[in-house]
Structure 1
Amino acid sequence: MDVALDPTPRVAVLIPCYNEEVAIAQVVKDFRAALPQAAIYVYDNNSKDRTSEVAREAGAIVRVERRQGKGNVVRRMFADIEADVYLLVDGDATYDAASGPKMVQTLLTEQFDMVVGCRTHTQTEAYRPGHVFGNAMLTGVVAKLFGRSFTDILSGYRAFSRRFVKSFPALSKGFETETELTVHALELRMPVTEINTPYGARPEGSASKLSTYRDGWRILRLILQLYKHERPLAYFSVLAALLALLSAGLATPVVLEYLRTGLVPRFPTAILSTGIMILAFLFFIAGVILETVTRGRQEIKRLLYLQMPRWEL
Structure 2
Amino acid sequence: MASSSPVLELQQSLGARFGGGWRADPPAEAPGRGHRPRVAVLLPCRNEEASIAAVVADFRRALPDAVIVVYDNASTDRTAAVAAAAGAAVFREVRPGRGHVVRRMFSDVDADIYLMADGDGTYDAASASQLVALVAENGFDMAVGARAGIAQDAHRPGHAVGNWIFNRLYRRLFDNGFGNIFSGYRAFSRRFVKSFPALSSGFEIETEMSVHARQLRLAVTELSLPYGKRRDGSASKLRTVRDGVRIFAILLYLLKETRPLLFFGMAALVTALVAVVFALPLFDTFITSGTIPRLPTAILCAGLGITAALLAVCGTMLDSVARGRAEQKRMLFLAVQQNRQG
Q: Match of 1:148? A: 176
Which residue in the other structure is 2:49 paired with? Answer: 21
For 1:218, what is the secondary structure of its paired residue?
helix
Equivalents in 2 of 1:123, 1:250: separation in Å? 45
In the aligned structure 2, how far is the partner of 1:15 from the partner of 1:80? 13
Does residue 224 of structure 1 match 2:270?
no
* Moved >6 Å (runs of 4+): none
1:248 aligns with 2:276: yes
More off after superposition, 215-224 vs 13-22: 215-224
> In structure 2, what is the Cα distance between the partners aligned to 1:71 and 1:108?
25
For 2:215 and 2:100, the matched residues in 1 are separated by: 22
Q: CA offset at residue 277 of structure 1?
A: 0.7
CA contact (8 A) 2:93 2:104 kept: yes
| Aligned-pair CA distance for 1:263 | 1.9
Match of 1:37 in 2: 65
**1:123 and 1:200 in contact (8 A); partners too:** no
Cα distance in 1 between the residues matched to 2:258 and 2:197? 13
Residue 100 (structure 2) aligns with: 72
Partner amino acid, structure 1, of 2:121? A
Which runs of structure 2 are paired with 1:171-250 in the superposition (5 Å)? 171-250=199-278
What is the letter of the counterpart of residue 137 of structure 2?
T
Instruction: Report SS of the residue matched to 2:119.
Output: coil
CA distance in 1, matches of 2:44, 2:146: 19
Equivalence for 1:169: 197
CA distance in 1 between partners of 2:193 and 2:163 (Å): 24
**Aligned pair in 2 of structure 1 residues 196, 252: CA closer, same or farther (>3 Å)?**
closer
Indicate the residue corresponding to 1:259 in structure 2: 287
Cα distance in 2 for residues equivalent to 1:65 and 1:40: 16
Tell me: CA distance 1:88–1:123, structure 2 relative to 1, closer, same or farther (3 Å): same
Letter in structure 1 aligned against 2:146: C
Please tell me the residue identity of whatever aligns with 1:188: L
Residue number among 299, 312, 320 corresponding to 1:271 in the alignment = 299
Q: Does the Cα contact within 8 Å between 1:10 and 1:83 map onto a contact in 2?
A: yes
Correspondence 1:274-293 to 2 at 5 A: 274-293=302-321
CA drift of 1:129 comes to: 2.9
Aligned to 1:111: 139
Count of matched residue pairs: 308
Residue type matched to 1:18 in 2? Answer: R
Query: Within 1, Cα distance between the matches of 2:212 and 2:246?
Result: 17
The answer to whether the 8 Å contact 1:23/1:206 transfers is yes
TM-score if structure 1 supplies the norm length? 0.94
The alignment partner of 2:337 has SS state of coil
- Aligned partners of 1:29 and 1:58 also within 8 Å: yes
Amino acid at match of 2:185: Y
Q: Once superposed, what is the RMSD of the aligned Cα atoms?
A: 1.8
CA-to-aligned-CA distance 1:21-70 (integer Å, 9 cap, x gap): 00011111111121111111111111000001111111111111111100
Is contact 1:121–1:127 with CA below 8 Å preserved after alignment?
A: no
Q: Distance in 2 between matches of 1:157 and 1:168?
A: 17
Answer whether contact 1:78 1:165 (CA < 8 A) is retained.
yes
Identify if the C-alpha distance between structure 1 residues 298 and 270 changes in structure 2 by more than 3 Å, giving closer, same or farther.
Answer: same
| Map of 2:163 onto structure 1 | 135
Which of residues 181, 184, 187 is equivalent to 1:159? Answer: 187
What SS class does the counterpart of residue 194 from structure 1 fall into? strand
Q: Which amino acid aligns with 1:118?
A: A
In structure 2, the residue corresponding to 1:119 is in which secondary structure? Answer: strand
1:107–1:159 Cα contact (<8 Å) kept: yes
Which consecutive unaligned segments of at least 5 residues does structure 2 have? 1-33
Residues 139, 152 of structure 1: 8 Å contact kept:
yes
Shift of 1:241: 1.0
Matched to 2:270, the amino acid is L
Shift of 1:136: 1.7
Identity %: 53
Q: For residue 123 of structure 1, report the CA deviation from its aligned partner.
A: 8.4
Taking the aligned partners of 2:248 and 2:276, their CA distance within structure 1 comes to: 31
Are the equivalent residues in 2 in contact too, given 1:232–1:291 (CA < 8 A)?
yes
1:102 maps to which residue? 130
Q: What SS does structure 2 have at the residue aligned with 1:183?
A: helix
CA distance, structure 1, for counterparts of residue 149 and residue 182 of structure 2 = 15
Could you list the per-position Cα deviations for residues 212-244 of structure 1 after superposition, in whole angstroms to 9, with x for gaps in the alignment?
Answer: 222122112211211111111111111111111
Aligned 8 A contact 2:153 2:227 in 1: no
Distance in 2 between the 1:137 and 1:153 partners?
11
